[in-house]
Structure 1
């Protein structure tokens, strides 16, 4: 008896979501239906793909081997559908987009409606991760990365750069005063990041003329959390222009030490896996983002 595409989809969904319940929600199927499909697949292959424990599902060695084939089959089906859609000039199908939460909220989601108006056949799936996402493991089509790229297996298209600034709310400055030089920052509440440590380098010179490495008082893994802390008057933060332009224009955040601030920019790239055929879904989405943002997307 031959295995079916639906059984392969169920298997990969269980792996990706980590549970049969999660796969059922993702595929909009019943839990019992997903469980039966997974059981049929294992019987047809005459092996155990997933070991069920009381807490989680774990891939067996055979399951890990089959997963590579399964992802290749699904990618081939997606590519075939894409090629057929391209023949009639209509990008279609699901497009999985990944970005850090601040970039997703402040840049990507505001442009989702206009993209859908141009390409109604494309179903968008947005996922936010604060760390680096494995595009293949998460079946991500395109991701937006901020800062220096390290993964050589990815193709990248630069879509812009965003300056970083040191900022605080008017309430914080009223309560704690505004520093007039870099040395005074040590007496203030500084908001920083758990990782990477590079994000705790601020665009100011220390006493040795190096980039200032701060010792944060409050830290978070999320840039959006740091932004909200700054807006609430909890401390001074260093954030990128793409997420604070509206706050600065409205006076909710004020730049600190502007005359001493260095011109430091974070590059922003759209990336996709090097071995993936560049689908019209990916091309149309990246082009739309670039066109809507313009030549200087994050400048004041």
Structure 2
């Protein structure tokens, strides 16, 4: 008896979601239906793929090996569907995109309407994370990463870049005064990041060279949190234009130390695995995003 795609999908979804119940919800099936699919799969293979405990599911050694084959088969089928759709100029299917919260909110979300209108057969699935994720583990097609890339196992496509600026709200400046030179920052409340530490190196000319290592009074893991703190008058921040452009235009934030600011562009890349054939839906998404991000 041959294995079905439904059984493979049930198996991989259970692993990715962490439970049979979560997999049933994601696949819009019943819990009993997913359990039966897993049972049929194990009987056909003649082996146990998972150990089921009251708290979690664990892959057996055979399950670990078979999971890689199952993913490859499903990816191949998905790729074939993409190729057939692209022949008719109708990219289709689910597109899983991951990006840091600020980029998702300020860049991707405003473009969703126009993208869906142009490509109505693509089902967008947007995930936000301020940490670097494993694309395979999270079942992600493409991730947007800001800054220097380090993972050589990934393909990368440059989408654009954004300038960094030091800024604060008028309310903060009225209460604490405006720094006139870089050395004045030591007398101000600075807003920074918990990680990576490189984000606390601001592009300002100082005794250290073309960067100034700051000691933030308040740190956050997300750029959007830092932005909201700056808007609330809680301190001085250094943020990229993509999340503060509208704030600057409205005057809700104002640039500081302009003459001492070094031109520093923060690169934005889309990444995906090297062994992934670039599908039509990924290609059109990246083309659309790059076009809209172009200066």
Structure 1-normalised TM-score?
Answer: 0.93
The corresponding residue for 2:249 is 249
- CA distance in 1 between partners of 2:220 and 2:57 (Å): 30
The corresponding residue for 1:291 is 291
Structure 2-normalised TM-score?
Answer: 0.94
CA-CA distance at 1:249 after TM superposition: 0.7
Instruction: Give per-residue Cα distances to partners, 1:31-73, cap 9 Å, x unaligned.
Output: 3322332233233333332333443323222222111111101
The corresponding residue for 1:94 is 94
Tell me, yes or no, if structure 1 residue 189 matches structure 2 residue 227: no
- CA distance in 2 between partners of 1:187 and 1:251 (Å): 24
Task: Tell me the SS of whatever aligns to 1:163.
Answer: strand
CA-CA distance at 1:263 after TM superposition: 0.6
Instruction: Give per-residue Cα distances to partners, 1:211-265, cap 9 Å, x unaligned.
Output: 1111222111111111111111222111110111011111111112111111111
Instruction: Give per-residue Cα distances to partners, 1:122-148, cap 9 Å, x unaligned.
Output: 111111121222222222222211111
The corresponding residue for 1:5 is 5
The corresponding residue for 1:155 is 155
Task: Tell me the SS of whatever aligns to 1:204.
Answer: coil
- CA distance in 1 between partners of 2:267 and 2:208 (Å): 26
CA-CA distance at 1:92 after TM superposition: 0.8
- CA distance in 2 between partners of 1:108 and 1:7 (Å): 34
- Map 1:53-132 onto structure 2 (within 5 A): 53-132=53-132
Query: Contact 2:204–2:260 at 8 Å: present in 1 too?
Result: yes
Q: Which runs of 5+ in 2 are unaligned?
A: none
RMSD: 1.6
CA-CA distance at 1:210 after TM superposition: 4.7
The corresponding residue for 1:270 is 270
- Map 1:209-224 onto structure 2 (within 5 A): 209-224=209-224
The corresponding residue for 1:23 is 23
CA-CA distance at 1:111 after TM superposition: 0.8
Task: Tell me the SS of whatever aligns to 1:281.
Answer: helix
- CA distance in 2 between partners of 1:53 and 1:238 (Å): 48
Query: Contact 2:194–2:220 at 8 Å: present in 1 too?
Result: yes
- CA distance in 1 between partners of 2:194 and 2:45 (Å): 45
Distance 1:168 1:277, change over 3 A: same
Q: Which runs of 5+ in 1 are unaligned?
A: none
CA-CA distance at 1:176 after TM superposition: 1.9
Query: Contact 2:203–2:210 at 8 Å: present in 1 too?
Result: no
